[in-house]
Amino acid sequence: MKLIIKYQAKPQQKDALEKELRSIILITRKAVGCVQCDLHVSMDNKLVFFFDMLWEKEQDWKNYTERKHMKDFYALTEGMVDTYDLCVSEY
C-alpha cells in the first residue's frame, strides 16, 4: 500500500513540526511491514511536508498507527498542523 501524507504547518509551528516529523522516520522505517518512509518538503511552500510511504499490507500500517509513540506523535503535533491530507494507492 502506497501512502502520501501531506502536512501543512501553522506558520509559527513550522520548525517544531518538521522536528517531530523527522523524529519518526527511522522508527517508521524499522516497523513491521514498512518498505519505504521518506520525508519531503515542498519547493513552493516550506510549510508543506510530505511523507512518502510504502507498506507491505494495509494492516501493517494500521497496526503501526496504533503504537504508543504514534499516538504520542499525533497528540503532540495536533496544534502544529494547519491542514492534513492522506492519499492512498494500492499497488
Q: Could you report the per-residue pLDDT of 38-81, keeping only the tens digit for each? A: 999 999 999 999 999 999 999 999 999 999 999 999 999 999 99
Q: How many helices (H) and strands (E) does the chain have?
A: 4, 4
Q: Look at the block and give the residue holding cell 491530507.
A: 85
- For the chain, which domains are there? 2-89 (3.30.70.100)
Q: Could you report the per-residue pLDDT of 1-38, keeping only the tens digit for each? A: 999 999 999 999 999 999 999 999 999 999 999 999 99
pTM for this structure? 0.91
Burial class (CB in 10 A: 0-12, 13-18, 19+), 53: buried
